[in-house]
Amino acid sequence: CSGNAASTAGGGGGSKQIKVGFAQEGAESGWRTANTKSLQEALGSKNGIKLTFSDAQQKQENQIAAIRSFITQGVDAIVFAPVVETGWTDVLKQAKQAHIPVILEDRDVDKADQQYITSRVGDDFEKEGETSCKWIADNFNGKGANLVVLEGTAGSSAANDRTTGCAKALQGTDIKTLDQQDGNFTRAQGKTVMEGFLQKYGNKINILYAQNDDMGLGALDAIKAAGLTPGKDIQIVTTDGTHDGLTALANGEFNYVVECNPLLGDDVAKVVKDVVAGKKVDKLYLAKDQAFDQAAAKAALPTRKY
């Protein structure tokens, strides 16, 4: 991370325990499991925090209800990963009226609601999309190649920004996007949507860009069932860099993976403690992400933390 939240949060937290409500958006992917674990560990007794956790199961109404309940409980800070970018104004106004700071982890809210947000700790999704599709452009431009895209949850900042970044990288190339559809960041939907792409376009598809590892892993089943070889007949680029994703890359079934770091807990805890102590914090802390080819995946796997 950049800025002053980079250091690991220290223990203790004074005599008074800090009450934090964390509204996680779901449990849809390997990335999300690692992210939840990182936050639950950091927002705990080692940082003098008493945590109330809620899983919204990828439903905005559940997340809004959880945030309302945190406001009623009178927590000292609210942390949440917004499932989508828009539709938060009313609940964020309520938090502001109750003088409860709101810190985003992972995903962002839209411009109109930025005024209610104290800080965000997350990844640069647009850069991830641009890096993924720059690899596609570097390897396929000039070959008349056809691309299909498995997009993440419709309306989420992760999907919106990765799509924007990818479009930037493909501009001016002859790569044709045959189709792009929502796979909701899950293996099951990645498989179903890929089956549809294969039925519609058959062996015209040269490249798959899956906006997370899980959708890419689901798509592998569909590609194999269609009698094609993933990584060869269809080259595959994904985002996240989970253990399962890097294993598929090391095995030659994926071709390139762009990391999205889920281990945001220590930085979130540092921001929460600073905000509650009345210290000034930055509006944005971005994690550093790297990209992996097949050789880099093999080298990284033995020590991969998630």
Judged by CB under 6 A, the residue of 38, 118, 239, 261 near ligand AHR is 239
Stretch that binds ligand AHR, among 25-33, 65-73, 108-116, 228-236 (CB under 6 A): 25-33
- Describe the crossing of helices 60-73 and 89-97 by its angle, rounded to 10 degrees: 10
* Residue 158 makes contact with ligand AHR by CB under 6 A: yes
Judged by CB under 6 A, the residue of 170, 205, 250, 260 near ligand AHR is 260
* Residue 39 makes contact with ligand AHR by CB under 6 A: no
Stretch that binds ligand AHR, among 11-19, 27-35, 43-51, 202-210 (CB under 6 A): 27-35
Q: Please tell me the distance from the alpha carbon of residue 126 to that of residue 284, in angstroms, as a whole number.
A: 15
Q: Please tell me the distance from the alpha carbon of residue 28 to that of residue 85, in angstroms, as a whole number.
A: 18
SS3 256: strand
Judged by CB under 6 A, the residue of 43, 67, 85, 107 near ligand AHR is 107
DSSP string, 130-149: HHHHHHHHHHHTTTT-EEEE
Helix (DSSP H) and strand (DSSP E) numbers for the chain: 10, 12
* Residue 270 makes contact with ligand AHR by CB under 6 A: no
* Residue 185 makes contact with ligand AHR by CB under 6 A: yes
Residue 76 or 161: the one with the smaller Cβ distance to ligand AHR is 161
* Residue 191 makes contact with ligand AHR by CB under 6 A: no
207: CB partners within 8 A, 6+ apart: 136, 140, 145, 146, 147, 148, 175, 234, 235, 236, 237
Residue 29 or 118: the one with the smaller Cβ distance to ligand AHR is 29
